[in-house]
């Protein structure tokens, strides 16, 4: 006999655990399934740099106990320059954060099952009625939430997820001691989150230093396997090679030593979601690309997507007819586009244009940011068209033309 719940959530990342937490708070019978063993969680899924901002901390009541370091600034580097602006943030210890979030859900009444690998949807009458996990075990639920990330075993089979390899970003990160946070010729990155645009280090992507206190920091590289990567890639280099190249050539790492057990790697997709929900079903977090495409921030958006899914499920389950049809589940789609990623399409365009630009253009951009009013940079980051146009130059015309050609090629490939 299969078990039965109001909602089953597959995946205990920030999106899934937040969804389960909110549903339990509202009094619903919810079970959270997680592939990893409880004693090791989240060893295999501890892959986020975990930088976030005060709005996330206050919105979701994230405690100080899971914060490695509170930061005061954001730094954007190009190969030969940098731009620094005041923006407070927090670098989380991601493993502690994930365990805290699961514990919060349990405290509110959510059931959590570890060692539970979801493999496919349980179908009845052409609609999802639950999940199959650990071979042939079943759990039934009125609503199923896929929060498994890019693997998306439920969303893929239901035709909700259509993740493309050309939109896949891969990343690697180490935590180090012995970091020189104020090296000559570089910005002071003490108590800062630093993002570097430099195709020599991250072709078609970016690298980062997130200060975690004293002489320690999270240091990593990520890139999309796109045209910009192909144009700038070093023959035979893997992502590990790019990180090693940076470590060997940047004086900030001259005395750096990796912290044992603090190496992480992962992937995510940067693209518009094709769909988000259907009858009795929603996909949250990185199952449908949710992270910010421009700077890779994912914790806030994933948790907001989990919250939007929980609010939708609550509405459907408390409806007088307990209606979980696709029509009612589509409330989640509207909340996602309104509250989770309202400027996703604009930011995807900004991302592609940014990564198609050259290292020389990155230096020019930083110079322009330093010469501009801080409000212009902040508004451009939010997707304000006028502010974006203010930062464009005549030399960007070839990049814009190339982007237009890429869009046409994708459209014809789709047709």
Q: How many other CB atoms sit within 10 Å of the CB of residue 146?
A: 33
In which band, very low, low, confident or very high, does the pLDDT at 60 lie, cut at 50, 70 and 90?
Answer: very high
In which band, very low, low, confident or very high, does the pLDDT at 230 lie, cut at 50, 70 and 90?
Answer: confident
- Residue 251 is classified by DSSP as G
Q: What is the pLDDT of residue 211?
A: 98
pLDDT, tens digit (0-9, with 9 covering 90-100), for 334-355 = 999 999 998 888 888 888 888 8
> CA nearest 155: which of 118, 125, 105, 124?
118
Structure tokens belonging to residue 377: 């940079």
In which band, very low, low, confident or very high, does the pLDDT at 411 lie, cut at 50, 70 and 90?
Answer: low
Provide CATH 3.30.9.10 ranges for the chain: 67-92+166-269
The full length of the chain comes to: 415
User: Do residues 202 and 191 lie in contact, with contact meaning Cβ atoms separated by under 8 Å?
Assistant: no
Q: How many other CB atoms sit within 10 Å of the CB of residue 265?
A: 15
- The CA–CA distances, whole Å, from 245 to 62, 79, 201, 207 equal 36, 14, 7, 12
User: Do residues 113 and 32 lie in contact, with contact meaning Cβ atoms separated by under 8 Å?
Assistant: yes
- Residue 288 is classified by DSSP as S
User: Do residues 76 and 366 lie in contact, with contact meaning Cβ atoms separated by under 8 Å?
Assistant: yes
- Residue 117 is classified by DSSP as -
Q: Is the pLDDT of residue 226 over 80?
A: no
Q: Rounded to whole angstroms, how far apart are CA atoms 346 and 384?
A: 9
Q: Rounded to whole angstroms, how far apart are CA atoms 123 and 105?
A: 27
Q: What is the pLDDT of residue 167?
A: 77
Domain 67-92+166-269 classification at class level? alpha beta
Mean pLDDT over each residue of the chain, to the nearest integer = 89
Q: Rounded to whole angstroms, how far apart are CA atoms 241 and 219?
A: 14
Secondary structure (3-state) at 119:
strand
- The lowest-confidence range among 99-103, 255-259, 371-375 is 371-375
Provide CATH 3.50.50.60 ranges for the chain: 3-50+94-163+273-340
Q: Is the pLDDT of residue 408 over 70?
A: no
Q: 223 — phi, psi (to 5°)?
A: -160, 155
Q: Rounded to whole angstroms, how far apart are CA atoms 331 and 290?
A: 17
pLDDT, tens digit (0-9, with 9 covering 90-100), for 113-164 = 999 999 999 999 999 999 999 999 999 999 999 999 988 999 999 999 887 7
Q: Rounded to whole angstroms, how far apart are CA atoms 173 and 168?
A: 17
Q: How many other CB atoms sit within 10 Å of the CB of residue 256?
A: 19
Bridge partners of residue 111, in order along the sequence? 31
Please state the rounded mean pLDDT for residues 8-23.
97
Secondary structure (3-state) at 91:
strand
Please state the rounded mean pLDDT for residues 232-257.
96
pLDDT, tens digit (0-9, with 9 covering 90-100), for 282-294 = 999 989 888 787 7
- Topology (CATH level 3) of domain 3-50+94-163+273-340: FAD/NAD(P)-binding domain (3.50.50)
């Amino acid at each position: 006999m299969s078990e039965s719940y109001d909602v089953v959530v597959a995946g205990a990342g920030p999106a899934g655990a937040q969804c389960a937490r909110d549903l339990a708070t509202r009094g619903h019978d919810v079970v959270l399934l997680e592939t990893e063993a409880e004693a090791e969680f989240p060893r295999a899924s501890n892959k986020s740099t975990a930088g976030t901002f005060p709005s996330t901390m206050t919105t979701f009541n994230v405690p100080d106990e899971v914060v490695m370091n509170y930061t005061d600034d954001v730094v954007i580097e190009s190969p030969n320059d940098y731009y620094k602006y005041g923006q407070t943030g927090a670098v989380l210890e991601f493993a502690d954060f994930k365990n805290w979030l699961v514990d919060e859900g349990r405290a509110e009444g959510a059931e959590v099952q570890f060692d539970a690998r979801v493999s496919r949807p349980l179908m009845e009458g052409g609609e999802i009625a639950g999940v199959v996990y650990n071979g042939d075990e079943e759990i039934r639920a009125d609503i199923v939430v896929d929060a498994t990330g890019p693997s998306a075993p439920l969303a893929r089979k239901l035709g909700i997820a259509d993740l493309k390899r050309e939109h896949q970003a891969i990343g690697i990160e180490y935590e180090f001691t012995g970091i020189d946070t104020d090296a000559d010729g570089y910005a002071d990155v003490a108590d800062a989150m630093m993002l570097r645009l430099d195709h020599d280090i991250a072709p078609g992507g970016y690298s980062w230093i997130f200060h975690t206190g004293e002489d320690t920091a999270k240091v990593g590289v990520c890139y999309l396997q796109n045209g910009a990567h192909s144009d700038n890639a070093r023959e035979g280099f893997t992502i590990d090679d790019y990180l090693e190249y940076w470590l060997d050539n940047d004086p900030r790492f001259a005395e750096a030593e990796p912290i044992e057990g603090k190496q992480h790697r992962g992937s995510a997709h940067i693209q518009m979601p094709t769909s988000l929900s259907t009858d009795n079903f929603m996909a949250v977090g990185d199952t449908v690309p949710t992270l910010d495409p421009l700077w890779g921030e994912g914790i806030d958006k994933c948790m907001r997507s989990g919250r939007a899914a929980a609010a939708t499920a609550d509405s459907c389950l408390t409806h007088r007819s307990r209606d979980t049809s696709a029509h009612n589940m589509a409330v989640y789609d509207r909340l996602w586009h309104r509250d989770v990623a309202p400027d996703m399409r604009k930011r995807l365009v900004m991302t592609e244009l940014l990564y198609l630009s050259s290292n020389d253009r990155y230096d020019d951009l930083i110079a322009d940011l330093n010469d501009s009013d801080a409000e212009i940079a902040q508004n451009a980051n939010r997707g304000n068209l006028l502010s974006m146009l203010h930062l464009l130059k005549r030399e960007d015309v070839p990049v814009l033309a190339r982007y237009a050609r890429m869009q046409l090629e994708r459209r014809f490939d789709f047709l």
